[in-house]
Amino acid sequence: MDAQRLPGAPARDGERIVAHVDMDCFYAACERLREPALDGEPLVVGMGFEPGETIGAVATASYEAREYGVESAMAISEALEKLPRKLDAVEDPALDVEEAGFYRPVDMAYYQSISEEVRTILHDNADVVREVSIDEAYLDVTDRVTWADVADWARELKATIASTVGVDASVGVAPTMSAAKVASDRDKPDGLVVVEPGEVRSFFDPLPIEDVHGVGPVTASELEALDIETAGDLAAADPDVLDDHFGDRGLEIRRYARGDDERDVTPRGKPKSLSRETAIGGQKEDSEYHRELLSTLGEAVANRASRKEAFYQTIGIKVVTPPFDINTRAHSLPGPVDDPALVQEVALDLYDAEFTDATVRKIGVRVSNLSFDDAEQANLTGWDDPSVPDVDDVEPIGEARSTGESPDLPLGQSRLTDF
């Protein structure tokens, strides 16, 4: 601890107390909730393990299954070699039932519902929560606790999650997001690690460089070639050398290794609009094909809005014509709706009004003027309150495995993207 710091002192000006919460073997923990007989057993959650199936991957493995070398993203065939399925072991005398495990298929809807329960508790226990994936969030608790009592706060949070929801969380607390994230991983499962402000450098120093935020396997091997093997080596590395090899990114990972991370915990924003578009390869002037695409895209956008519980008041299309002219047209409704058929109808009307003879490179559908307030729903039938709250936040991008996004609708060879 910092020599100047009084025990129990609140965070200093500008200094944050950040917690990172990450559930332990989350999908497996959820499966155990509804099937308690799986407690303490090696358990693999994934796809492709049923007879006749060959392709699939492990989503997660319980800590007992990890002892056998099974891990996330491993091919299911490899997992079955390391840890045969109990069902198979019972029937095959060559296999040992004691050295076999249980396999369960992925059930996202169920895991989402458990995740929601955990989130409610997180929001009750922090002023700012940033959810980054189905089982992971950052909490800013600067105004709620001091460094002296943050460990008690974290223990209580873990106990509340365990007793209310029935799953275990690991928690890391530190003055920065990146240190908190590393800390939550250090003592898994059921972990709790607090890194106080004066300890961040010494906490990071011995860690392997892969543990530094922003260092992937490729960067790690490039750093190792420069004899930089630990976060401490990276923190002490000559900035010019890093700049030469990696540019700005090199300086950024050096800052993270030194525990410098200025990012504030900010809540996830609500999107301003939702859209789907696709490039058109062959049939550039085929209006029936364009209309088909618009219907599919409209359905995809409307489904996405429903998943996000968003109502939309404006429905639009984008038609890109040669050379690269972007034409957007939109129609605003008297009030916010959640109506997939209407999205398709309006999109087609907008297209039919102007573009049936057009050569088209790209085509897309967008809904905007979004509202997320449940209270809006009450006004829908009467159409008597067209007011739409301002939604200023832009949807954040670039975070791994964002929560709850289902795959896009397949559309032949074309790639669906946002616009």
Active site positions, annotated: 136
Sorted by sequence, the CB contacts under 8 Å of residue 134 that are 6+ apart come out as 26, 111, 112, 115, 401, 403, 404
Distance CA 57, CA 50 (A): 12
Spatial CA neighbour of 295 closest among 409, 177, 130, 158: 409
Tokens of 366: 């967008």
* Residue 122 touches which of ligand TTP, Mg ion, none (Cβ within 5-8 Å per kind): none
**Partner that binds at residue 27, options Mg ion, ligand TTP, none, CB closer than 5 to 8 Å by kind:** ligand TTP
Which residue lies nearer to ligand TTP by CB, 26 or 203? Answer: 26
Q: Which does 60 bind (CB under 5 to 8 A by kind): ligand TTP, Mg ion, none?
A: ligand TTP
In the complex, minimum distance from the CB of residue 311 to Mg ion, in angstroms, rounded to a whole number: 32
Work out whether 299 is an interface residue with Mg ion (CB under 5 A): no
Min CB(142)–Mg ion separation in Å: 24
Subset of residues 22 to 51 that bind ligand TTP, contact rule: CB under 6 A: 22-27
In whole angstroms, give the CA distance from residue 18 to residue 102.
Answer: 37
Could you tell me which stretch among 20-28, 62-70, 79-87, 155-163 binds Mg ion (CB under 5 A)?
A: 20-28
Is 395 buried (19+), middle (13-18) or exposed (0-12) by CB count in 10 A? Answer: middle
Are 266 and 352 in contact by the 8 Å Cβ rule? The answer is no
The H or E element that residue 255 is part of is helix 248-257
Which of residues 135 and 376 has its CB atom nearest to Mg ion in the complex?
Answer: 135
Q: Are strands 43-46 and 102-105 parallel, antiparallel or unpaired?
A: parallel
Among candidate residues 198, 257, 188, 261, the one with its CA nearest the CA of residue 229: 257
Question: Closest separation between CB of residue 28 and Mg ion, Å?
Answer: 10
Q: Which residues of 181-205 are buried (b: 16+ CB within 10 A; e: fewer)?
A: bbbbeeebeebbbbbbbebbbebbb
Query: Which CB atom, from 26 or from 311, has the smaller least distance to ligand TTP?
Result: 26
For Mg ion, which stretch binds (CB under 5 A), given 18-26, 152-160, 205-213, 296-304?
18-26
Q: Which two tokens stand for residue 92?
A: 């095959």
Cα-flanking dihedrals φ and ψ of residue 241, to 5°? Answer: -65, -45
C-alpha to C-alpha distance for 9 and 143, rounded to whole angstroms: 12
C-beta of 26 vs 256, nearer to ligand TTP: 26
Q: Which of 119, 123, 188, 272 binds ligand TTP (CB under 6 A)?
A: 188
Strands 58-61 and 43-46, by their bridges, are antiparallel
Binding positions for ligand TTP, 130-169, rule CB under 6 A: 134-136
Quick check: 192 binds ligand TTP (CB under 6 A)? no
135 binds Mg ion (CB under 5 A): yes
Nearest distance in Å: CB 66, ligand TTP: 8
The answer to whether 119 contacts ligand TTP (rule: CB under 6 A) is no
Residue 22 binds Mg ion (CB under 5 A): yes
- Contact flag: residue 31 with Mg ion (CB under 5 A): no
Is 72 an interacting residue with respect to ligand TTP (CB under 6 A)?
yes
Element housing 171 (H / E): strand 169-174
Count CB-CB contacts under 10 A for residue 24: 18
Give the max Cα distance, the chain.
Answer: 75
The residue (of 135 and 211) whose beta carbon lies closer to ligand TTP is 135
Query: Pick from ligand TTP, Mg ion, none: which does 140 bind, CB < 5 to 8 A by kind?
Result: none
Least spacing, CB of residue 133 vs ligand TTP, in Å: 6
Helix axes 108-124, 150-164, angle to 10 degrees: 140
Contact (CB, 8 A) for 364 and 297: yes
For ligand TTP, give the closer residue by CB, 154 or 319.
154
| Residues near ligand TTP (CB under 6 A) | 22-27, 59-60, 72-73, 134-136, 188-189
| Residues near Mg ion (CB under 5 A) | 22-23, 26, 135
